[in-house]
């Protein structure tokens, strides 16, 4: 594998193979982005591929491929659209990722033009709109045709759709002497933030699918075969450049920008002219600060040489002009406004502060919420509602606020204070102290099952794949049943039909979103779970510190559901006796179980509401006893890791089977791992296992091994 190797360490054969791999990956990414409006890479991942390709070509120029991505722009026209040829090719822009890149860009321009350091060099800046590039041909002031960028030479004919966009003038304004007889006006189609939010709301109701970000929504809206769909999507357009022109109409980029505005186009109000790199970087910082409030998505700032005769002298490289560059914002970091701080109550009572943000695209995904972790973290970062904040999202990690940009503003409110009562049930919210005197960083609601928020979250957990796995009973259905008062506790799930009737509600088959078939399937799925395993039910109760691992350990130790709860009852007896101490010791003596889990079990059992619920649940369920773990299986005592997609069983089934065979299941690969079971799509874990020389099995080989 050469994909992670340092370029200076590549042999010529490695470099040739790496260039082939990069060409394939970039072509696939281009097709997904430009043709299907469904990118599978983030901007940062895509940029990294292109940068690596350029770097290898710089070291091995003789290996540059004829189909090198460094010479290509966009992707061929998608099926369903006719092709239009651009009079002048539509190229892309080179990227700058740091201030030093911007300084180097300006230095290159000076060297190319043979300008001294003190010679005047004016440059322009304007936001880089994150949308879809469009080429508009006007003849005698009338819009004749419109095309997407396509593969730079040919684009998709979207003329009928563009005619529905209000920002695109169908007839140029001003006097006939102001615009050339023929001109290609270029710019970016985008979807405003409010239109994007409204569209996703409609799509969620109509189809259950939503767009990941405004750029995808804009591209998908423009590239419709039915223009009426485009018209309904409220698209906008900013003009910023031109291609072919039958005559010159300006001497500078600044004059040209004014001309476009006079002709009836929307030009960006943040367009500025500068005479130094420092001024460019100040504009970059200012635009980044305003990013959250612009009302449309941007992903950087574009700098251009102002004089058009110098642009002509500078010309073009293979796929980009030498006179312009895009200074990109960090792909996984964005700036936005913290509108408010809400409190979410989890199933174990933890109060989590959540930032409500002005929506902003981070790493290709629109983010409107971010975790603030706990009150100590908020105090440490001094985060307050109304602050302009930086938001970070790396990979699939939940977005986090990393800092405040305007801590010295005059109208800043007092520091935010965590409430000391639950916002849902008004029970005291406390920070527990462990037996070593260490205070928990989280504040927790003490209401237990009387807290509606905890109840709903516990119900969702109870029916989830991690617990009873009731097919067709997801978070939306649980929330609906709880809201209508028919499911308030775990036993109610198994009495759903009767409780709906008792509440005077129509049969489930008549509810919106249900029908005869779906209602019957749900009832059947619920009935199928009346017989459930020990560990699954215990895990489903949502008792703090009693998760997947501890539940499995208790199942293998006690085997009997009734004997386990008899032991818990003895440990919970008050006042404490020798028998209670012995029971507690048995619960805590299992390797992998700590005192925290025992304390949580005892507290759960001592709570009258929880105890009554458990009794009612036992009346509804037949909890299957556990099986003793094997000590003579081929995997007994071994550490197993599962990765990739398993096709013949679920991941949970595979883990449960391995555990019953006496294996230890881990979620990460290390030197202690004995076997990695890898299904399709296995990634970093498989690579690490190969590096460490760990035995790797396919799913079929694993099933053959364990019988």
Mean pLDDT of residues grouped by 10 in the chain (707 residues)? Answer: 68 84 80 62 73 82 80 57 87 90 94 92 95 94 92 88 92 79 95 89 75 84 83 92 94 95 95 96 92 89 96 86 92 86 91 91 82 88 92 70 87 92 94 81 88 92 92 92 94 95 94 91 95 94 89 89 95 90 90 85 92 94 82 83 84 76 81 89 85 90 86
Among the listed residues 285, 370, 294, 358, the one whose alpha carbon sits nearest the alpha carbon of residue 332: 370
Name the burial class of residue 189, with classes exposed (0-12), middle (13-18) and buried (19+) by CB atoms within 10 angstroms of its CB. Answer: buried
Is residue 685 a contact partner of residue 665, using CB atoms and an 8 Å limit? no
Task: Quote the pLDDT of residue 1.
Answer: 42
Give me Rg for the CA atoms of the chain. Answer: 31
Task: Quote the pLDDT of residue 426.
Answer: 94
- DSSP 3-state of 515: coil
Residues 6+ apart with CB under 8 A from 446: 349, 422, 427, 428, 429, 430
Task: Quote the pLDDT of residue 682.
Answer: 82
Q: Quote the CA–CA distance of 622 and 604 in Å, as a whole number.
A: 21
Q: Which residues pair with 485 in a beta bridge?
A: none
Is residue 333 a contact partner of residue 402, using CB atoms and an 8 Å limit? yes
Name the burial class of residue 1, with classes exposed (0-12), middle (13-18) and buried (19+) by CB atoms within 10 angstroms of its CB. Answer: exposed
Q: Which residues pair with 664 in a beta bridge?
A: 639
Annotation marks residue 128 as catalytic: yes
- Which homologous superfamily is 335-446 in? Nucleic acid-binding proteins (2.40.50.140)
Name the burial class of residue 270, with classes exposed (0-12), middle (13-18) and buried (19+) by CB atoms within 10 angstroms of its CB. Answer: middle
Residues 6+ apart with CB under 8 A from 502: none
CATH architecture of the domain formed by 7-72: Orthogonal Bundle (1.10)
Among the listed residues 110, 89, 97, 117, the one whose alpha carbon sits nearest the alpha carbon of residue 307: 110
CA dihedral 424, 429, 434, 440 (to 10 degrees): 80
Chain-centroid distance, C-alpha 625: 40
Q: Quote the CA–CA distance of 391 and 389 in Å, as a whole number.
A: 6
Q: Quote the CA–CA distance of 499 and 507 in Å, as a whole number.
A: 10
Is residue 587 a contact partner of residue 546, using CB atoms and an 8 Å limit? no
CA dihedral 374, 378, 380, 386 (to 10 degrees): 170
Calculate ∠ Cα 442-448-451, nearest 5°: 95
Is residue 138 a contact partner of residue 259, using CB atoms and an 8 Å limit? no
CATH number for 533-624: choose from 1.10.150.20, 3.30.420.40, 2.102.10.10, 1.10.1370.40.
1.10.150.20
Question: Largest Cα–Cα distance of the chain, in whole Å?
Answer: 102
Catalytic residue (choose from 116, 122, 128, 685):
128
Residue ranges of the alpha helices (H) in 299-425?
A: 308-314, 375-381
Exposure string of 459-498, with b = 16+ CB inside 10 Å and e = fewer, is: bbbbbbebbbbbeebeeebbeebbeeebbbbbbbbbebee
In which region does residue 448 sit, left (phi positive, over 0), alpha (psi from -120 to 50) or beta (all else)? left
Q: Which residues pair with 190 in a beta bridge?
A: 236
Task: Quote the pLDDT of residue 680.
Answer: 84
The hierarchical CATH code for the domain 639-706 is 3.40.50.10190
Residues 6+ apart with CB under 8 A from 643: 669, 676, 677, 678, 679, 682, 683, 685, 686
Q: Which residues pair with 428 in a beta bridge?
A: 421
The hierarchical CATH code for the domain 95-328 is 3.30.470.30
Calculate ∠ Cα 527-533-536, nearest 5°: 95
Name the burial class of residue 205, with classes exposed (0-12), middle (13-18) and buried (19+) by CB atoms within 10 angstroms of its CB. Answer: exposed
Is residue 178 a contact partner of residue 262, using CB atoms and an 8 Å limit? yes
CATH number for 448-529: choose from 1.10.20.140, 3.60.150.10, 1.10.150.20, 3.40.50.150.
1.10.150.20
Q: Quote the CA–CA distance of 433 and 454 in Å, as a whole number.
A: 21
Per CATH, 448-529 and 533-624 having the same topology is answered yes
Cα 432 to Cα 446, 547, 693: the distances in Å are: 10, 20, 45
The domains of the chain are located at: 7-72, 95-328, 335-446, 448-529, 533-624, 639-706
Contacts 24+ apart (CB under 8 A), 595-598: 595/435, 596/434, 596/544, 596/545, 597/545, 597/546, 597/550, 598/571
């Amino acid at each position: 594998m050469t994909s992670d190797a340092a370029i200076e360490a590549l042999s010529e054969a490695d470099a040739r193979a790496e260039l082939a791999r990069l060409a394939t990956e970039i072509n696939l990414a281009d097709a997904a982005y430009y043709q299907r409006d469904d990118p599978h890479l983030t901007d940062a991942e895509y940029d990294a591929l292109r940068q690596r390709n350029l770097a290898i070509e710089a070291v091995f120029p003789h290996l540059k491929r004829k189909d090198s991505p460094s010479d290509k722009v966009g992707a061929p026209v998608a099926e369903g659209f006719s092709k239009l040829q651009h009079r002048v090719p539509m190229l892309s822009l080179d990227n700058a990722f740091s201030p030093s890149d911007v300084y180097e860009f300006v230095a290159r321009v000076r060297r190319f033009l043979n300008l001294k350091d003190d010679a005047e060099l004016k440059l322009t800046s304007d936001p880089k709109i994150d949308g879809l590039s469009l080429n508009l041909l006007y003849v005698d002031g009338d819009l004749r045709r419109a095309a997407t960028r396509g593969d730079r030479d040919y684009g998709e004919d979207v003329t009928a759709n563009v005619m529905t966009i209000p920002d695109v003038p169908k007839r140029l304004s001003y006097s006939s002497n102001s615009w050339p007889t023929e001109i290609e006006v270029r710019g970016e189609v985008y979807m405003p933030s409010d239109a994007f939010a409204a569209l996703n709301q409609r799509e969620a109701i109509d189809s259950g699918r939503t767009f990941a970000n405004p750029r995808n929504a804009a591209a998908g809206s423009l590239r419709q075969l039915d223009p009426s769909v485009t018209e309904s999507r409220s698209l906008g357009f900013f003009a910023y450049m031109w291609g072919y022109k039958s005559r010159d109409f300006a001497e500078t980029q600044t004059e040209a920008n004014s001309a476009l505005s006079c002709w009836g186009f929307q030009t960006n109000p943040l367009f500025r002219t500068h005479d130094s790199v420092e001024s460019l970087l100040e504009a970059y910082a200012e635009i980044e600060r305003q990013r959250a409030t612009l009302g449309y998505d941007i992903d950087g700032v574009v700098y251009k040489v102002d004089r058009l005769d110098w642009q002509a002298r500078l010309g073009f490289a293979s796929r980009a002009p030498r006179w312009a560059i895009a200074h990109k914002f960090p792909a996984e970091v964005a700036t936005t406004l913290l509108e408010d701080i809400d409190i979410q109550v989890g199933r174990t009572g933890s109060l989590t502060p959540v930032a409500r943000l002005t929506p902003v695209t981070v790493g290709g995904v629109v983010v409107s919420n971010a975790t603030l972790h706990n009150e100590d973290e908020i105090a440490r970062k001094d985060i307050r509602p109304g602050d302009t904040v930086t938001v970070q999202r790396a990979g699939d990690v939940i977005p986090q606020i990393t800092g405040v940009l305007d801590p010295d503003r005059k109208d800043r409110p007092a520091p935010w204070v965590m409430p000391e009562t639950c916002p849902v049930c008004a029970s005291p919210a406390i920070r527990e102290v462990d037996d070593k005197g260490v205070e928990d960083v989280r504040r927790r609601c003490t209401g237990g099952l009387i807290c509606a928020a905890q109840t709903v979250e516990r119900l969702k957990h109870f029916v989830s794949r991690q617990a009873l796995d009731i097919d067709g009973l997801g978070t939306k259905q649980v929330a609906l049943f709880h809201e209508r008062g028919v499911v308030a506790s775990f036993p109610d799930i198994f009495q759903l039909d009767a409780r709906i009737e008792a509440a005077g509600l129509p049969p489930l088959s008549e509810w919106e979103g249900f029908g005869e078939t779906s209602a019957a399937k749900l009832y059947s799925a619920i009935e199928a779970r009346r017989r459930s395993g020990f560990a699954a039910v215990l895990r489903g109760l949502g008792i703090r510190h009693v998760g997947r691992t501890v539940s499995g350990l208790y199942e293998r130790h006690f085997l009997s559901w009734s004997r386990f709860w008899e032991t818990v009852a003895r440990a919970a007896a008050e006042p404490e006796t020798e028998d209670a101490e012995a029971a507690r010791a048995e619960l805590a003596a299992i390797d992998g179980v700590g005192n925290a889990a025992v304390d949580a079990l005892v507290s759960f059992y001592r709570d009258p509401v929880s105890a009554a619920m458990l009794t009612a649940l036992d009346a509804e369920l037949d909890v299957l006893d556990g099986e003793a773990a094997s000590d003579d299986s081929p995997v007994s005592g071994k550490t197993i890791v599962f990765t990739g997609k398993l096709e013949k069983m679920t991941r949970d089934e595979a883990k449960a089977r391995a555990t019953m065979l006496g294996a230890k299941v881990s979620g990460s690969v290390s030197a202690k791992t004995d076997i990695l079971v890898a299904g399709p799509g296995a990634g970093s874990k498989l690579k690490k296992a190969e590096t460490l020389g760990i035995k790797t099995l396919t799913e079929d080989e694993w099933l053959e091994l364990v019988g």
